[in-house]
Chains A and B, each alone.
Chain A
Amino acid sequence: EAGVVQSPRYKIIEKKQPVAFWCNPISGHNTLYWYLQNLGQGPELLIRYENEEAVDDSQLPKDRFSAERLKGVDSTLKIQPAELGDSAVYLCASSRSGQGANEQFFGPGTRLTVL
C-alpha cells in the first residue's frame, strides 16, 4: 500500500512569491490534514478535510493561505504571497476518518525556505 505522497520535498522561494504544495493521501482515506511544523516544534493543524469539505480551518491564515480538495482525494495548499516566517515543514496526513482514534498516516513533508 502506497503511503501519503507529497511534492515537492523541498522548495526555496523569495518572499512575496507564491508557492503550492501537493498531497495525495492513502487510497480510501476520507480525512486529510495539513500541518505546519516549525523547527523544534510539534505539528500544528492548519486545515482538516472530511472528503471534500473543510471541517476545521480555524488555524489557517486565510489572508495568504488557501487549500482545496476538489474531488475529495488529493489536495493542494497554497501560500500567496509567502513571507519569511512561512519557512517551515508542511506535513500532509490522512486517516480513514476524523472520528475517534483513527491513526493518522503522515507524508514526508515539504520543507519550505523563504528568502
Chain B
Amino acid sequence: AQSVTQLDSQVPVFEEAPVELRCNYSSSVSVYLFWYVQYPNQGLQLLLKYLSGSTLVKGINGFEAEFNKSQTSFHLRKPSVHISDTAEYFCAVKADSWGKFQFGAGTQVVVTP
C-alpha cells in the first residue's frame, strides 16, 4: 500500500513571494504523482503530474514540481504567487496501472497582500 504525507497543513505567504509545498510518499512500487488544487466550494483541479522521464514537471498557473526518487518527495513550487493562488493543494499518488489514487491531507495556502 502507498501513503502520502503533506508536511504543512497551512502555508501563509505574501503576494509575489515564492512558495513551496512539501509532499512525501511511500510505496513499494513505482508510482505516478499528482498535485491538485481546490478552490473554495469547488472540486479538485489537476495542476500537474509526474509519470516518468524528466524529474522537473511544469504545470498550469506557473506551478512546477520536482520528483526526487531517493527522498521519495514531490514538492510543489511557484516562484511568485498571486492572491488568486489562495486555495487548498493536494498531493496524490497512484501506485500502479490500475491502482487507486491516495491523497494527502492537503495544504492550505493563504496569500496576503
Binding site for B on A (CB under 8 A): 4, 40-45, 48, 56, 91, 93, 98-101, 103-109
- Please name 15 pairs of A and B residues whose Cβ atoms are closer than 8 Å in the assembled complex, sorted by A: A40-B105, A42-B90, A42-B105, A42-B106, A48-B100, A91-B44, A99-B97, A101-B94, A103-B49, A104-B44, A106-B44, A108-B42, A108-B43, A109-B41, A109-B42
B1-21 to A contact mask, C-beta < 8 Å, 1/0: 000100001000000000000
Nearest B residue to A42, CB-CB: B103
> Chain B: how many interface residues by the 8 Å CB criterion?
24
In the complex, what distance in Å separates the CA atom of A42 from the CA atom of B43? 11
Which residues does chain B contribute within 8 Å of A104, judged by CB atoms?
44, 46, 101
Q: What residues on B are CB-neighbors of A40 within 8 Å?
A: 9, 105-106
Task: Give the total number of A-B pairs whose CB atoms are below 8 A apart.
Answer: 53
- Decide: A56 and B105 in contact? CB cutoff 8 A: no
Instruction: List B residues at the A interface (Cβ < 8 Å).
Output: 4, 9, 32, 34, 36, 41-46, 49, 51, 90, 92, 94, 97-98, 100-101, 103-106
A56 to B95, CA, bound (A): 15
Among residues of A, the one whose C-beta sits closest to the C-beta of B38 is A106
Measured between alpha carbons, how far is A8 from B3 in the docked complex, in Å?
32
Are B100 and A45 within 8 A (Cβ)? yes
- Nearest chain B CB to A32 CB, angstrom units: 13
